[in-house]
Copies of this chain bind each other. A is one copy, B any other.
Amino acid sequence: MKESALQIAHRAYQPKMPIALRGEVCLKEGERTQSVADQEAIKQLFPDTYGLPVVEIQAATAQAAKPARNVGVILSGGQAPGGHNVISGLFDGLKRMNPDSRLYGFLGGPSGLIEGKYTELTADIIDQYRNTGGFDIIGSGRTKLEETWQFDKGIEVCNRLGITAIVIIGGDDSNTNACVLAEYYLQKQCGIQVIGCPKTIDGDLKNKMIETSFGFDTACKVYSELIGNIQRDANSAKKYWHFIRLMGRSASHIALECALQTQPNITIISEEVEAQKMTLGDIVDDIARVVAQRAAKGLNFGTVLVPEGLIEFIPAMRALIQELNDLLADGKEFDVNGLRDDAKRLYQSLPEAIAKQLTMDRDPHGNVQVSLIETEKLLIEMVGKRLAEMKANGEYTGKFATQHHFFGYEGRCAVPSNFDADYCYSLGQTAAQLIQAGKTGYMAIVRNLTRPAEEWTAGGVPVTMMMNMERRNGKMKPVIQKALVDLNGKPYRYLVAHRDEWALSTDTYIFPGPIQYYGPAEVCDQPTVTLKLEHE
């Protein structure tokens, strides 16, 4: 197998860890906790895992020998840089406590647990994957662990392998389900603990206890590298407006972080669009206004960041999509006259290609696949039309040549930044400690992340503490609250305070360059701007 020079060299990187995790540890328990909302409902659903204390890992003097443990690990959902380091941290932590401990990886996501598909992760395998991107060590999958027959299957498989703890590395839904599983296994007294780890590039799994999900740092840095390169190009060629759509699902955290790292001319934040009840026309007008203002200064180029989830945050578009979903359910033929008047007018105002995407590309349930809609092209076409009108009115005299980009898959499996490599390795080590301490229904947490790694703190937070009740597919369910961009938060406010300057400037672009793994700490070991603004 041929490998790149970085693959070979970077395997030797030793992730930095909090001091508390480096030797013998003890757990300090805090007060009993409450869920963030709907306490009674959550308590009823999770009688055995509700109210547990937050725990913090502290250094301790040498302790008694620890029993060997067999542990299973699962990667759940979309890839995020650092997943392999969670696993290597978990492996090293378990082996350090007792070399006879074993780590099993369930293959292809949660379905691996149910179907009993697994591999033992030995030192040889782990060493191949240290500090690498991707989830290919055991694969990931999107099967949801929600039903008791799945849980019972899991018990069978675990018993067969002597597994007494499962670590689930996933996003908000996967961690919610991990807690349901923990509760079920506690009630069944089957002796299997469940620990979660906070994963998602989207950055929407964060709260009072979780400062950031892993992968967000690396993914944003990859996208920012590319945006910076494009801005350098725009500023050199001086002839294109670049419309750049960024992955990130509903939340605009990625677009916001990339904006803070690169200072583009225009950044759309979906949460703001919704809060201000903006129409598609309003967004188009805003962009066209900046294009015209720059043109008046002779600047017929620029950059626009578009969050992937935008379409669904425009109230009228969301209504249209809902109507289309109903209209097209069960493979029905599309007839524009089936739409209500408002929706019909909006639909007919859309560029042909986009209208087609809305009606043609449906998922197996007949739903419009919002992530496939090329919003960046939609905006280019509509802004172009608006500018043509403005030109006719004498309000605009520039050129509007464009390029469009979508960045997503480029970042989900990148080699983790040192931050993510360190953070993930520490999360894995923390998970090992929580298992050793007999905890279940907890997520591993590492905090104080804007400080150097040795000052980070590690511990566990009961998942129930982060839950509330939300309506999902018509039913009230206990879920971890998803974090959208906080319009009162410092990162967003920083954007708002600076965006007018960035819109019209010629020299405010920042060029982050590619992620560096070697070199000065200020280049290699910085957290995201979001994290700094939120926690420093």
Q: Which of A31-39, A187-195, A411-419 contacts B (4 or more CB under 8 A)?
A: A411-419
| Contact among B229, B261, B415, B518 with A222 in the assembled complex (CB-CB below 8 Å) | B229
- A3, B411: Cα distance in complex, Å: 22
- In the complex, chain B residues whose CB is within 8 Å of the CB of A222: 229, 514
Interface size class of A (residues with CB under 8 A): 35 or more
Chain A positions 501 through 536: 1 when the CB is less than 8 Å from some CB of chain B, otherwise 0: 000000110111111111110111010000000000
CB pair B133 A523 closer than 8 Å: no
- A315, B135: Cα distance in complex, Å: 42
Answer whether residue A230 sits at the interface, using C-beta atoms and an 8 A cutoff: yes
CB pair B410 A229 closer than 8 Å: yes
Interface residues of A in 388-404 (CB under 8 A from B): 403
Interface residues of A in 221-247 (CB under 8 A from B): 222, 225-226, 228-230, 232-233, 235-238, 240, 242
- A526, B8: Cα distance in complex, Å: 14
CB pair A4 B512 closer than 8 Å: yes
Answer whether residue A134 sits at the interface, using C-beta atoms and an 8 A cutoff: yes
| Contact among B140, B233, B410, B512 with A413 in the assembled complex (CB-CB below 8 Å) | B233
Closest to A404 in B: B406
Answer whether residue A263 sits at the interface, using C-beta atoms and an 8 A cutoff: yes
| Contact among B238, B240, B524 with A139 in the assembled complex (CB-CB below 8 Å) | B238
| Contact among B238, B261, B507 with A4 in the assembled complex (CB-CB below 8 Å) | B261
What's the least CB distance linking A121 to chain B, in Å?
A: 16
- In the complex, chain B residues whose CB is within 8 Å of the CB of A516: 6, 514, 516-518
Interchain residue pairs A-B with the least CB separation, the first 4: A518-B519, A514-B514, A232-B413, A134-B232
**Inter-chain pairs besides A132-B511, A516-B516, A518-B518, 8 sampled, C-beta below 8 Å:** A3-B510, A134-B232, A134-B236, A229-B411, A233-B413, A405-B410, A513-B517, A518-B519
Q: Which residues of A contact B (CB under 8 A)?
A: 1-7, 9-10, 78-79, 108, 132-136, 139-140, 222, 225-226, 228-230, 232-233, 235-238, 240, 242, 261, 263, 353, 403, 405, 409-415, 507-508, 510-520, 522-524, 526
